[in-house]
């Protein structure tokens, strides 16, 4: 073959087949994604500095989509989180519903809740009030780390992270109004409504959401708490759970601003508890070059957290302002396609101010904390495993320092994936943890966490994953209180050790017309727990208020293009709660039966016109209304669970023209 012929062949080949090459560069390296895989392959950065798919991200993860929330008819975050492996809802005090995770009480500083990047844990105690608080119908997705997140998120994420992303802040290009009504046989359970508008364009994006609601904590008609000094109460008349949230975001180029006002008012028969929280965040993503992005940010919080007191006569027992000013610089550097580094430094100052001027902070009217922190993470992708290596070092002028390293190995190999995770985590003492320290000194909690997950995708639509965990916490920060009224006293102290071990099994199947997620969670208390407030005399294997086993089932069946039927259910095994008094008048723990919460919701999309959706259903079909025990021995009887609640949901969305 001479050179001329060769050139002719090459030229003709190029002309004839040029179109082949164009199509080649778009070929996927993997077979076509099923509905389940689309969900699993969605990149998430909640557990890493760089976005990775759910099966490779360095954390035990649950992702809940807007579709799943809407289909299930979830009334609030309690309904959403009950379906998530490892999560449970228990009572704090004053009828506040708080979070339990993997068999541990986690409401004070152990589980971080973020909404559009805003830390929802208040600054005085680091709690989150979860019942009828968050606008579930405005949520686009929830990314949950069912394990420690301190190396990334700091001292409020010792056991878990719940990252809520609203629809307005992410995908909405139009206006949506929505409302939910819940009715019990004897009371109105809730009336919540919201409106959101947003426009997302390449150069300029904005969003605005407003949410307001009224609800009750329980509809029990004749509740008598043996440990509180009030008469039998009709809780549908004496308890409230009223949320309000205004959320605004603006993004122009690399500059973004988010500001939020959040309010939650709840009452038990005797006391009120109000929280108000203003937050603002400005950040700028400076793309220095293709590989390096530097993000300076500034945040400001101004709150009135958990202001409480007597309802009648109305009188505050605690009314303190908490403020936080936060400055941070973070850099993300892609060394190459397989190596990413993320480093940052931050400083924040917390200030508590007693507005009653009663010396709420250890006799003083103000208390100031100064913190600085450094963090770094490296992500190294390799064909055998992705390695995440990182740490966070935080130092506080009052309680000292915490150093939390983290190591994760993850990989998806064809149908199989594995995750091996080790990290230390910490809970930073909050303003009141410090000022109310029993001994005048409080240390940060520190946790050692080992986790391992194995998963296998049997078919494109079917995934089974199993994880095991071990959490050992030292210097556990525990709340204590005594007395009533003028003699009421509360304090914090470090206990030596607590924690849990267990496993979680998740089976998911997702077809075009139906899906099911079935999960089983098991947890048990570690040997050597020293926190007596968590202990019940009947067993050392589980803590007060928690089930050892939980089964959650969530499913949806499309009957046609408009109508779907959506059953869901939660089974919790037996628990223990303080429900009686012994001969000496001391609280006595008793067994609470296991329960099944079965729910059914019907959804009709695009009724009469596109964008108009209606849903009706019932929560707790069998009317079991399981009680909500207090998670520690704190002189509150279990709150009677709310009975069967009939739900009506309406929403209407109009999209802007593109």
Partner 1 sequence: MIRKYLYASFVGCFLFCLSASAQTTNHAAYSLFVVNFAKYASWPQAGTDFKIAVLGKSKIYEELLKSTANKNVNGQPYKVSQIESASEIGDAQIVFIPDNKSSNLDEVVKATAGKSIMIVTEREGLAKKGADFSFLIIDNKLRFDINSSDLEKRNIKVASSLVSIANSSM
- In the complex, which residues of this chain contact partner 1 (CB under 8 A)? 1, 6, 9-10, 13-14, 17-18, 20-21, 24-34, 37, 41, 337, 383, 414-415, 457-460, 462
Token digits of residue 234: 């009709």
**CA nearest to 453, candidates 497, 419, 408, 493:** 419
Minimum distance, C-beta of residue 26 to partner 1, in the bound complex (Å): 7
CA distances from 223 to 61, 220, 377 (A): 39, 6, 52
Minimum distance, C-beta of residue 382 to partner 1, in the bound complex (Å): 10
Our CB check for partner 1 shows the closer of 31 and 289 to be: 31
Minimum distance, C-beta of residue 289 to partner 1, in the bound complex (Å): 19
Diameter of the chain measured on Cα atoms: 108
Our CB check for partner 1 shows the closer of 14 and 232 to be: 14
- Phi and psi at residue 36, to the nearest 5°: -65, -45
Minimum distance, C-beta of residue 475 to partner 1, in the bound complex (Å): 44
Minimum distance, C-beta of residue 1 to partner 1, in the bound complex (Å): 7
Angstrom distance (rounded) from CA 335 to CA 342: 11
Minimum distance, C-beta of residue 509 to partner 1, in the bound complex (Å): 10
Q: Are 211 and 136 in contact (CB under 8 A)?
A: no
328 class by beta-carbon count within 10 Å (0-12 exposed, 13-18 middle, 19+ buried): middle
Our CB check for partner 1 shows the closer of 457 and 529 to be: 457
Minimum distance, C-beta of residue 413 to partner 1, in the bound complex (Å): 10
Minimum distance, C-beta of residue 388 to partner 1, in the bound complex (Å): 20
Our CB check for partner 1 shows the closer of 1 and 231 to be: 1
Minimum distance, C-beta of residue 551 to partner 1, in the bound complex (Å): 17
Our CB check for partner 1 shows the closer of 20 and 357 to be: 20
Neighbours of 336 (CB within 10 A): 8
Our CB check for partner 1 shows the closer of 51 and 252 to be: 51
Our CB check for partner 1 shows the closer of 28 and 609 to be: 28
**CA nearest to 545, candidates 525, 518, 568, 570:** 525
Our CB check for partner 1 shows the closer of 458 and 656 to be: 458
Our CB check for partner 1 shows the closer of 194 and 455 to be: 455
Minimum distance, C-beta of residue 169 to partner 1, in the bound complex (Å): 25
DSSP 243-275: EEEEEEEEEETTEEEEEEEEEEEEE-SSEEEEE
Our CB check for partner 1 shows the closer of 19 and 229 to be: 19
Neighbours of 261 (CB within 10 A): 16
Minimum distance, C-beta of residue 410 to partner 1, in the bound complex (Å): 16
Minimum distance, C-beta of residue 19 to partner 1, in the bound complex (Å): 11
Q: Are 650 and 640 in contact (CB under 8 A)?
A: no
Our CB check for partner 1 shows the closer of 201 and 291 to be: 291
Token digits of residue 534: 């968590």
**CA nearest to 151, candidates 489, 478, 393:** 393
Minimum distance, C-beta of residue 20 to partner 1, in the bound complex (Å): 6
Our CB check for partner 1 shows the closer of 10 and 563 to be: 10
For the chain, what's the residue count?
658
- Categorise residue 373: left if φ over 0, alpha if ψ from -120 to 50, beta otherwise: beta
Strands 240-252 and 255-267: antiparallel
Token digits of residue 590: 């008793």
**Which residues, other chains included, contact 187 with Cβ-Cβ below 8 Å and sequence gap of 6+?**
216, 219, 236, 237
Minimum distance, C-beta of residue 44 to partner 1, in the bound complex (Å): 15
Minimum distance, C-beta of residue 415 to partner 1, in the bound complex (Å): 4
Our CB check for partner 1 shows the closer of 28 and 289 to be: 28
Secondary structure of 213-230 as H, E, C letters? EEECCCCCCCECCCCCCC
Our CB check for partner 1 shows the closer of 319 and 412 to be: 412
> Looking at residue 536, what DSSP letter applies?
B
Minimum distance, C-beta of residue 384 to partner 1, in the bound complex (Å): 11
Is residue 580 helix, strand or coil?
Answer: strand
CA distances from 641 to 64, 220, 375, 567 (A): 25, 8, 43, 20
**CA nearest to 335, candidates 397, 282, 289, 384:** 289
Burial 352-375 (b: 16+ CB within 10 A, else e): bbbeeeeebbeeeeebebebbbeb
Angstrom distance (rounded) from CA 475 to CA 109: 14
Our CB check for partner 1 shows the closer of 406 and 419 to be: 419
DSSP 584-632: TS-EEEEEE--EEEEEEEEEE-SSSSTTEEEEEEEESTT-----B-BSS
Alpha helices in 317-470 (DSSP H): 431-435
Angstrom distance (rounded) from CA 378 to CA 567: 42
Our CB check for partner 1 shows the closer of 20 and 202 to be: 20
């Amino acid at each position: 073959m001479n050179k001329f012929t060769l050139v002719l062949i090459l030229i003709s080949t190029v002309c004839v087949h040029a179109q082949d090459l164009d199509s080649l560069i778009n070929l996927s390296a993997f077979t076509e994604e099923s509905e389940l895989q689309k969900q699993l392959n969605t990149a998430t950065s909640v557990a890493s500095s760089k976005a990775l798919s759910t099966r490779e991200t360095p954390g035990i993860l649950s992702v809940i989509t807007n579709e799943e929330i809407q289909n299930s008819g979830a009334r609030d975050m309690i309904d959403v989180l009950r379906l998530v492996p490892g999560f449970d809802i228990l009572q704090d005090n004053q009828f506040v519903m708080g979070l339990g995770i993997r068999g541990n009480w986690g409401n004070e500083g152990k589980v971080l809740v973020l909404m559009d990047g805003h830390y929802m844990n208040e600054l005085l105690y680091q709690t989150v009030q979860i019942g009828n608080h968050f606008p579930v119908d405005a949520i686009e997705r929830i990314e949950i780390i069912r394990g420690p997140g301190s190396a990334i998120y700091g001292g409020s994420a010792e056991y878990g992270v719940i990252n809520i992303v609203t629809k307005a802040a992410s995908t909405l290009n139009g206006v949506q109004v929505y409302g939910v009504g819940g009715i019990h046989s004897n009371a109105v359970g809730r009336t919540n409504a919201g409106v959101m508008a947003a426009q997302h364009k390449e150069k300029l994006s904005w969003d605005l959401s407003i949410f307001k609601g009224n609800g009750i904590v329980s509809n029990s008609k004749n509740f008598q708490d043996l440990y509180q000094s009030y008469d039998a109460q009709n809780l549908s008349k004496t308890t409230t759970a009223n949320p309000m949230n205004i959320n605004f975001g603006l993004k122009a180029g690399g500059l973004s601003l988010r500001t939020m006002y959040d309010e939650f008012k709840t009452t038990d028969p005797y006391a009120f508890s109000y929280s108000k929280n203003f937050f603002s965040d400005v950040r700028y993503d400076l793309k220095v070059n293709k590989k390096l992005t530097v993000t300076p940010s500034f945040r400001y919080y101004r709150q009135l957290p958990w202001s409480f007191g007597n309802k009648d006569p109305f009188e505050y027992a605690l009314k303190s302002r908490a403020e936080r000013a936060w400055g941070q610089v973070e850099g993300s550097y892609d060394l190459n396609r397989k190596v990413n580094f993320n480093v940052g430094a931050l400083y924040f100052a917390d200030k508590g101010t007693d507005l009653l001027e009663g010396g709420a902070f250890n006799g003083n009217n103000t208390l100031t904390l100064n913190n600085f922190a450094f963090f770094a993470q490296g992500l190294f992708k390799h064909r055998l495993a992705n390695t995440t290596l990182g740490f966070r070092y935080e130092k506080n002028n009052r309680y000292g320092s915490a150093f939390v390293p983290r190591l994760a190995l993850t990989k998806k190999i064809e149908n199989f994936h594995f995750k091996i995770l080790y990290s230390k985590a910490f809970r930073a003492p909050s303003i009141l943890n410090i000022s109310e320290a029993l001994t005048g000194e409080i240390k940060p909690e520190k946790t050692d966490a080992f986790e391992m997950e194995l998963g296998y995708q049997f078919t494109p639509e079917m995934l089974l994953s199993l994880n095991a965990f071990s959490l050992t916490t030292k210097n556990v920060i525990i709340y204590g209180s005594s007395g009533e009224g003028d003699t009421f006293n509360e304090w914090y102290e470090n206990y030596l050790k607590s924690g849990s071990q267990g496993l979680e099994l998740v089976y998911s199947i997702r077809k075009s017309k139906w899906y099911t997620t079935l999960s089983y969670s098991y947890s048990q208390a570690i040997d050597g727990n020293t926190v007596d407030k968590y202990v019940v005399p009947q067993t050392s294997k589980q803590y007060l208020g928690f089930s050892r086993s939980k089964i959650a089932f969530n499913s949806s069946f499309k009957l046609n293009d408009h109508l779907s039927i959506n059953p869901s259910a939660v089974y919790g095994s037996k628990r223990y709660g303080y429900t009686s008094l012994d001969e000496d008048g001391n609280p006595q723990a008793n067994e609470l039966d296991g329960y099944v919460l079965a729910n059914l919701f019907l959804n009709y999309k695009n009724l009469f016109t596109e964008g108009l959706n209606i849903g009706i259903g019932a929560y707790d079909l069998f009317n079991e209304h399981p009680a909500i025990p207090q998670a520690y021995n704190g002189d509150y009887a279990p709150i009677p669970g709310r009975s069967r609640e009939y739900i009506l949901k309406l929403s209407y969305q109009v999209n802007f023209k593109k």
